[in-house]
Amino acid sequence: MSERYSRQVLFKPIGKEGQNKIEQKHVLIVGCGALGSSNAEALVRAGIGKLTIIDRDYVEESNLQRQQLFTENDAIEKTPKAIAAKQRLNQINSDVEVIAHVMDATSNSLSPLIREVNLVIDATDNFDIRFIMNDLSHKHNIPWIFGSCVGSTGMSYTIIPNDSPCLYCLLEAAPLTGATCDSVGIISPAVQMVVAHQTTEALKLLIGDIKALRTRLVMFDLWNNHYQTINVNRAKKESCPTCGITPSFPYLQFESQTKTEVLCGRDTVQIRSNQKEFPLDELEKRFIDLGQVKRNPFLISLNYQNFRVVIFKDGRTFIHGTSSIEKAKKVYYQLLG
């Protein structure tokens, strides 16, 4: 056994047997922002065998305050978060297999990934994606760990299919506010508190210490010194469309999937194309006379009129500078037809 993990092995609940189990497991992290990058680093340092990261976004300067894997150069180059994270994680622990996907998390993209993993960690800020994860994890019987934070507050809950309430049940019992990091801000310690809960629960699941799992929803407000755990077992409903007696998995249906959406608090609209891949070389030539163009292997960025348009190779487009879907579509069609 490598000296690298000696202090973790000395922790009796893990020990040598637990460490061996960790090194054989595969975790999927959906989202590689504040929660995702911190969870990824913790698991890579703990010696996870395989880690898959999926994220649709790229690094911006405002991320650097709390997203610990990224650097100023990542923000300057607009490096996709999943790629920047993989590069840093490989430097931290070269024994871990890290797979990075720069793409949107949809039922189609997540379905083949989730079948291959032992655990899913939620690190997204999008409830459409969370409900898709919720349905997929129950369909394939894969545990997942919910996490959310904003301002100085956060919450986390471990969801075990066929045992605990699912996210759909949970939010009916404990609905969330509409606050976002972009509207009320966030402090880094709130992120780390959620990550501490998520990563600890992940280690318990990876070594099979089911009895040690926290069965309550945890909620806190660090600034106002509040911490509570809530028994939500009674929230589980037999009629639930995800975890009930006759599940229909509604969020896996095509009509429930968003094709055009306003990104959370960012004055940005995302448009997904049916085209699976954009030819960045051709777009760069087409845009060169329209405004300032920046390009990397994964995306092309164009300052166009009063907007910043970012086109990803995988068929997605961000229209920065508006929260109007109609305006965003107009710009999109002007540039891409």
pLDDT tens for the chain, 337 residues: list them.
579 999 999 999 999 999 999 999 999 999 999 999 999 999 999 999 999 999 989 999 999 999 999 999 999 999 999 999 999 999 999 999 999 999 988 898 999 999 999 999 999 987 878 999 999 999 999 999 999 999 999 999 999 999 999 999 988 776 665 566 765 789 999 999 999 999 999 999 999 999 999 999 999 999 999 999 999 989 999 999 999 999 999 989 865 565 777 877 678 999 887 666 788 888 898 888 889 999 999 999 999 999 999 999 888 899 999 988 888 888 888 888 6
CATH code 3.40.50.720 region(s) in the chain: 3-254
H-helix segments, 47-139: 72-77, 81-92, 107-114, 127-139
Q: Which CATH class is domain 259-336?
A: alpha beta
| DSSP state letter for 163 | T
CATH code 3.30.310.10 region(s) in the chain: 259-336
The alpha carbons of the chain give a radius of gyration, in whole angstroms, of: 20
Give the 3-state secondary structure percentages of the chain, helix then strand then coil, rounded to 5.
40, 25, 35
- Parallel, antiparallel or unpaired: strands 299-304 and 307-312: antiparallel
H-helix segments, 166-321: 167-173, 181-184, 188-207, 280-287
- Parallel, antiparallel or unpaired: strands 299-304 and 260-262: unpaired
Q: Which fold has domain 3-254?
A: Rossmann fold (3.40.50)
CA angle 330, 301, 30 (to 5 degrees): 95
Q: Which of these, 86, 134, 164, lies nearest to 241 by C-alpha position?
A: 134
